[in-house]
Structure 1
Amino acid sequence: MTTPSFEHYSAIRARELRAVVEDIYCRSYTEAIASGDPFDSPTEFMNRFDAYTDPRRSSGFELVLARVDGEPAGQTWGWPLPANARWWEQLTLDEGDIREFTLEDGSRTFALSEIMVCAEHTGQGLARALHDELINSRPEQRATLLVEPDNDRAYAAYLKWGWQRVGSLRPQWENAPKFDVLIYINR
């Protein structure tokens, strides 16, 4: 693979790339989109993207765009969880004190929302490079993400990269599936 270049964007700047974000999604999630699941439709995905980047709620949002030979090839994004974060609603924790685990102050936990790589660039290490580019630039103590339990490829990658399962939850998004919750401790 040609060495990718990375660009970092705030929520406001990410909104300016809306068409690029949607194109990468469509080129990355072809099977999920083809399944007909309403949650995976490009329209619903972009509705979620618009909510994530809403300037009234997106404090600390960061998008990393990867380019290969100058062309968009993948993206990842997330944000720090604020106090009283809705992220943890519906969480079933495998063990431990849920109140302590979910206590947020805006600097404890980074929510990694998406990592996606266009189909023509998969299997070349770009997902890991995107992950590391974003996570390694974050000051938070830990990161969290949601993964569908049957997404074997992504799940295996996250575990290999140092993530650990801590529980499960179903987000409040319409038609959202139940996800496993993973945690990564920043070193």
Structure 2
Amino acid sequence: MTFEHFTAAQARDLRRTVEDIYRRSYTDAIASGDPFDSPAEFMRRFDAYTDPARDRTFELVVAYVDGVPAGQSWGWPLPPGAAWWNGLRLDDGDHEEFTAETGDRTFALSEIMVCAEHTGRGLARALHDELLRGRSEQRATLLVEPDNERAYARYRKWGWYRVGWLRPSWEDAPRFDVLMHDLPL
């Protein structure tokens, strides 16, 4: 297994690879017919994440097994006024203080996915650690569907904890639990 890191501009050049990994990772979600999980909607979100007009330091990590893309993970530091927190319902605490971003306080881990033929081999954890290793932010956040028991259990095992929930502004977006992890790992 090897990893390569890419910037937003480089990730845009890997668009076909990103979509291929998505299709090979989310076969059940795609088959469900949920519009949010369609490859077209997924790639629309990916294009927004890597839009050159946005001021964010996007990072994509692609994992290769025997030279073939087998998984990917990406994220970015949240800028001041980050839309990421829109609609957040905290379980406890001061909302204003919790969501105050400086551009180097919180890293948003947006995606981790492993192609179906490579699951169960520790690749998701390796992608997680590769993306978060060496981050300078104080904490990381991610969103997980509450009924995704497999992912949820792994995140908890890896040190993530729930702080609340939100529904992103993306069309047809489900409700997600908001998880946090203190950095460095």
TM-score (norm 2): 0.98
Deviation at 1:137, TM superposition (A): 2.8
State the partner residue of 2:13.
16
2:32 alignment partner, one of 25, 30, 35: 35
The question of whether the paired residues in 1 share the 8 Å contact of 2:108 and 2:141 is answered with: yes
Letter of the 1:170 counterpart: R
Deviation at 1:48, TM superposition (A): 0.1
1:177 alignment partner, one of 164, 169, 174: 174
Asked if 1:26 corresponds to 2:23, the answer is yes
Q: Which runs of 5+ in 2 are unaligned?
A: none
- Tell me how far apart the structure 1 counterparts of residues 173 and 71 of structure 2 sit (CA, whole Å): 23
Deviation at 1:58, TM superposition (A): 4.8
2:157 alignment partner, one of 127, 145, 160: 160
State the partner residue of 1:108.
105
Deviation track 1:13-57 (CA, whole Å, cap 9, x = no partner) reads: 000000000000000000000000000000000000000000111
Deviation track 1:104-151 (CA, whole Å, cap 9, x = no partner) reads: 010000000000000000000000000000011311110000000000
The CA RMSD over aligned residues, in Å, is: 0.6
The question of whether the paired residues in 1 share the 8 Å contact of 2:70 and 2:115 is answered with: yes
Q: Which runs of 5+ in 1 are unaligned?
A: none
Number of residues of Structure 1 aligned to a counterpart in Structure 2: 184
Helix, strand or coil at the partner of 2:170: coil
- Tell me how far apart the structure 1 counterparts of residues 46 and 73 of structure 2 sit (CA, whole Å): 12
TM-score (norm 1): 0.97
Letter of the 1:32 counterpart: A
- Runs of 4+ in structure 1 deviating by more than 3 angstroms, as ranges, are none
The question of whether the paired residues in 2 share the 8 Å contact of 1:52 and 1:58 is answered with: no
The question of whether the paired residues in 1 share the 8 Å contact of 2:3 and 2:63 is answered with: yes
State the partner residue of 1:91.
88
Letter of the 2:9 counterpart: I
Asked if 1:186 corresponds to 2:165, the answer is no
State the partner residue of 2:53.
56
State the partner residue of 2:141.
144
Identical residues among aligned pairs (%): 72
- Tell me how far apart the structure 2 counterparts of residues 137 and 43 of structure 1 sit (CA, whole Å): 33
- Tell me how far apart the structure 2 counterparts of residues 27 and 163 of structure 1 sit (CA, whole Å): 26
